[in-house]
């Protein structure tokens, strides 16, 4: 599996890298503001709340409290799922 950069995506789409940067910045800003962003067929990005919890600190072996926070979540759209399933048949 090869890794792709923003420059690779921009070149493949035939758009400037600045356009890809602007789109990604928009998605990040909207999700950070608490809004969902949906690209029909591709998928949606949304903020979800992660509850406060206790976590282990490997270096000390002690437990500590991790506060509640929001994290981004991506849910792939049907067209995206179908394309991956079709291309990656065993």
Cβ atoms 46, 76 nearer than 8 A: no
Residue with tokens 């940067």: 21
Q: How far apart are CA 69 and CA 66, in angstroms?
A: 9
Torsion of CA 49, 55, 58, 61, to 10 degrees: 170
Rounded CA-CA distance 49/54 in Å is 16
Under the banding of pLDDT at 50, 70 and 90, the label for residue 88 is confident
pLDDT tens for 19-65 read: 999 999 999 999 999 999 999 999 999 999 999 999 999 999 999 99
Residue 71 binned pLDDT confidence (cut-offs 50, 70, 90): very high
Q: Please give the pLDDT value at position 40.
A: 94
Structure letter (DSSP) for residue 90: -
Please state the pTM of the whole predicted model: 0.77
What pLDDT score was predicted for residue 2? 84
């Amino acid at each position: 599996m090869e890794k792709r950069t923003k420059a690779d995506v921009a070149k493949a789409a035939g758009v400037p890298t600045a356009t890809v940067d602007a789109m990604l910045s928009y998605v990040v800003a909207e999700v950070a503001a608490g809004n969902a962003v949906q690209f029909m067929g591709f998928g949606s990005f949304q903020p979800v709340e992660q509850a406060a919890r206790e976590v282990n600190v490997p270096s000390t072996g002690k437990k500590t409290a991790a506060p509640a926070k929001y994290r981004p979540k991506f849910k792939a759209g049907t067209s995206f799922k179908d394309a991956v399933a079709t291309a990656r048949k065993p």
